[in-house]
Amino acid sequence: MDTSPEAFEAREPGRGRAARTPWEIPAKGWTDIGFRVVLAYFGDRVGFIAGGVTFFTLLALFPGLTVFVTLYGLFNAPETAVGHVELLRGIVPAGVLDFLSGEVVRISSAPPTELGVTLVISLGFSLWSANAAVKWLVYGLNVAYHETEKRNFFHYNLLTMAFTAGALVFVLITTSLVVIAPVIASFFGWRMDIGLAADLRWPLLFVAYVGAMALLYRHGPCRARARWRWLTLGGVFAAVLNMLGSAIFSWWLSSFADYARVYGSLGAAMGFMMWSWLSVTAMIMGAELNAEMEHQTAWDTTTGPPLPMGVRGALVADTVGPRKGAPGAVRYTLQYAEELSRRLMLKLGKRPEA
């Protein structure tokens, strides 16, 4: 069978089978992509994978906060730090923000010798936990792109450690945009409007987030690297999902949920855990969108000179995804419907038919 992009386009016209960029995919092709992305959330168990990342992220949270506020407290007065930390309101849940403010005051007031020991211990444990979270995330990216991990032990661990270090640098840079910048400005005697800094955080964080996601999608999965044009939209999609999820979750917390009443002193941690789960889910769904965009076209989406299908080194580039309503897609949907029906009947106490 002819596997050229032109042949696929002739067999299934108007679906973007010969698209060289995502912008060339017509509306009918985006319907196919959206259909497969929705199925991928359940088929790839995105929520389950995000839970694994969240667990290790939560382990890294408290020692990581200790490292951050320890370094901050070495150079700034507690009352000044709390005012700058408030600029993060709207980015992190209110409970976590209140906890961070309290930690700034508590750790900054500790003796210098205690701060040094705390810094070393917390940094080591935070790096280990964060690296474990990154490994789970890389696993999720491999699942999204339908790949298995084939890199050797040293390559894999160097990659995850590089991502871990990059994530820490990303957090420091993005936090500096809204927290440290006023401190530097006041040190040099520059006048800086705190409200203006708070307003500028959203576009700056959005651009930084999309860029970080594109890097993650390009180097994280164990496959031939995709071209940047097939990675950017997934980063934008993840950023928008993350912002919407954070806004809805914050509204839900303020309007309905009271984690402090249910979980007591663990309320802030539980709020962070749910917010982190939503954020990681958005990251993986961005990868799912990128994968299905590549899956929609028969054109080579990997870097380097164009290669024929089957030798490109990436499953979504070496195959073409089924269109909405195709036998393969319908069969997959029916299998899921049957499984959901079986689980519902078990919950209702009914025995499903064999």
Q: Residue 221 domain-assigned?
A: yes
Report if residue 349 sits inside a domain. no
Per-residue confidence (pLDDT) for residue 185, from 0 to 100: 56
Q: Which domain holds residue 169?
A: 35-297+323-335
- Cβ atoms 112, 291 nearer than 8 A: no
| pLDDT of 29 | 96
Residue 150 domain flag:
yes
Q: Per the structure block, which two tokens stand in for 42?
A: 């359940």
Q: What's the structural domain count of the chain? A: 1
For 104-116, letters b (16+ CB in 10 Å) and e give beebbeeeeeebe
d(CA 33, CA 254): 35
In-domain check, residue 17: no
What is the DSSP track for 114-135? HHHHHHHHHHHHHHHHHHHHHH
Nearest to 31 by CA among 15, 45, 43, 49: 15
> For each successive 10 residues of the chain (354 residues), what is the average pLDDT?
88 94 96 94 93 90 69 58 64 65 65 62 82 94 94 94 86 63 56 57 82 96 96 97 86 72 73 88 98 96 93 93 69 52 63 52
Which amino acid makes up residue 124? G
Residue 151 in any domain: the answer is yes
Q: Which tokens hold the place of 205?
A: 């964080």
Q: Is 313 among the domain residues? A: no
Task: Compute, in degrees rounded to 10, the torsion defined by CA atoms 343, 346, 352, 354.
Answer: 70
13 lies in some domain:
no
Nearest to 230 by CA among 291, 316, 307: 291
Residue 15 φ/ψ, nearest 5 degrees:
-120, 5
